[in-house]
Amino acid sequence: MKKNLRIIAVALLIVNNGYSQSKISGVTLPPKLGFNETVRTFTGEGIREKYFVRVYVLGLYMSEQSKDPEVIINADKPMSVRLQIISSMLTGETMARYIREGFSRSLNNNTKPIEEEINLICQVFSSETTKVGDVYDIHYSPGVGISASKNSKPYSFTSLNTTAKSTTINSTDLKKNMKTLNYTKSGQAAIPGLEFKKALFGIWFSKNPVDSKLKEQIIKY
């Protein structure tokens, strides 16, 4: 009897410490994600709905756990989201459009300062066909930026270009206006900037998220 109780106690301890897998809408999310030599632990999950259609499951992973939306958005700490497609009606272009709409809500329509960065992250979804079961991981690494992968395959971002259009700008000013990619310790390209990270995570956790029910599901998980 005592032996059985010890087994049960150990099992409960494992669950409470985040080693169990989570399953929602037929999707099993792992308890941890590793990226750029840091471990991010499962924090919560929810389902994104659009026009009463379940579109994707979103899991949040953080190196330092928090259920405060402001902390999630603003923290300069390693964190990730895993997004798994669950709708056969979703295309890559549609998914990219949803992400753009999310940035508009996150930034109160003031997306122009990071327009190039938004274009890059949207390419992760629009560059290939999207199907049910596809898994997108988006990782933030402090001092490096946002990296992404699809079905465990790292996405190779193209170079960020300057927004300057005038031909009268001299080479010195042009260099000052140039935006460049950063790279992780493994050499994966990343879109730099804490402000971009805040805008990205604001898609789901800002005061005007793309899906308030999804936000609530994760925060109250």
pLDDT, tens digit (0-9, with 9 covering 90-100), for 150-163:
999 999 998 776 34
For residue 179, the model assigns a pLDDT of 80
Region 13-38 average pLDDT: 71
CA angle, residues 151, 192, 38, in degrees to nearest 5: 55
pLDDT tens profile 125-142: 999 999 999 999 999 999
Q: Mean of the per-residue pLDDT values for the chain? A: 86
Region 81-107 average pLDDT: 96
Strand ranges in 166-209 using DSSP code E only, listed in sequence order: 182-183, 189-190
For residue 107, the model assigns a pLDDT of 98
Residue 123 class from Cβ within 10 Å (0-12 exposed, 13-18 middle, 19+ buried)?
middle
Position 1 confidence tier, pLDDT thresholds 50, 70, 90: very low
Region 11-31 average pLDDT: 60
Q: Are 85 and 55 in contact (CB under 8 A)?
A: yes
For residue 160, the model assigns a pLDDT of 77
More confident: 30 or 173: 30
- CATH code of the region 22-158+166-219: 3.50.70.10
- The residues spanned by each domain of the chain are 22-158+166-219
Does position 70 have pLDDT exceeding 70, yes or no?
yes
Whole-angstrom Cα distance, residue 83 to residue 78? 17
Position 190 confidence tier, pLDDT thresholds 50, 70, 90: very high
With residues binned 3-state (H G I as helix, E B as strand, rest as coil), the percentages for the chain, rounded to 5, are: 35, 25, 40
Tokens 């897998």 locate to: 21
187 φψ region: left (φ > 0), alpha (ψ -120 to 50), beta (else): left
Whole-angstrom Cα distance, residue 57 to residue 208? 19
Kindly report each contact of residues 161-170 with a partner whose C-beta sits within 8 Å and lies 24 or more positions away, as own/partner.
Answer: 161/116, 163/115, 163/116
Does position 144 have pLDDT exceeding 60, yes or no?
yes
For residue 19, the model assigns a pLDDT of 41
Does position 5 have pLDDT exceeding 50, yes or no?
no
For residue 64, the model assigns a pLDDT of 97
Whole-angstrom Cα distance, residue 18 to residue 141? 22
Region 42-63 average pLDDT: 94
Give the amino acid at 165.
K
Whole-angstrom Cα distance, residue 183 to residue 59? 24
